[in-house]
Structure 1
Amino acid sequence: MQLVLRALLVMGLAVLPHATAKKLSCGARLKARTMRLRLDQSVQPHVRSTSGIDMANMSLSPWTYRDSCVESRFPRCISEAQCLTSGCLSLQGGGEDAALEAQPIRYQVLVLHRVQRQRCNKTGGRKTGRRYHFILGTQVITVGCTCVRPSVVPQQ
């Protein structure tokens, strides 16, 4: 997962100056460079001694992971954390501490969205083909949960 995120970050930094958000009409050309991306499979991410699942179970605001899968996105599946409690677990053991609340920790990641290209036929109309291009985008995901003091706004 970290390897994919690192590759997306590098790719995003390389492509951002050339990206555009304009919609193109049939016959218009996108003024951007096409770059081939080759991922080095020999690069292994550094694995810590504590896995993410262990960390989620040891936290005072435990969470679990669920996969969000979208066929037209790269990476197709992204694991997102989901807080298991609304409060935080008590240090003395037992139940939840109502003085604290569990809040999600969010992180913005780069993703690629696959979009089918519109091809023009000679009569000027649009014709869909089986060619695709990728649009760089971002997505905010939840990576864990933490304990915070609830914010109390006094009424006047």
Structure 2
Amino acid sequence: MSTPTPEVALARRWTLQLDLSAAQDGSDWQTVFGIAEFTPPAPDPNIEDSSDYESGGWNGKTKTAQEWELAVTLNRKINDQVKVFHATHEYLRRAAWLFGSGSKAHLRWFDRQGMPEAYEGRGVVQWEASGGEHTALDQVEVTIHGDGELLLIDNPIA
């Protein structure tokens, strides 16, 4: 039997979903449409020097904390018949204006082909309209500043 030729993964392999349930309990996952650019985070660790006399002159390092941040560019999606933006876009926009728990989003992202990479977390929403010339699309830069643990989860479509 021949070995299949490996294919290169594409950046557009990601699906981003928001939990729109009032309880933020993962009961109403909605897909965020219109993603033009997606930068999945990697944990950014805080590393401290833990060297001591017993190390024989070798320095030691210890991870004491870490944080994460998700960046995504969205093409705004509208329904021009009823004059509304997509519900996930509106959720993010509104959260960026609020304080406390209202400023946070519960989200997950995963490989849309069912590969094992999948993550879930909560974070504070930052929303910035891109603007542009008369020929430009209406885009926004959304940054989710992680608030707490970024979980490794099973891919929900695997």
Q: Is TM more than 0.5 here?
A: no
TM-score by length of 1: 0.21
TM-score by length of 2: 0.21
Q: Which has the larger radius of gyration?
A: 1
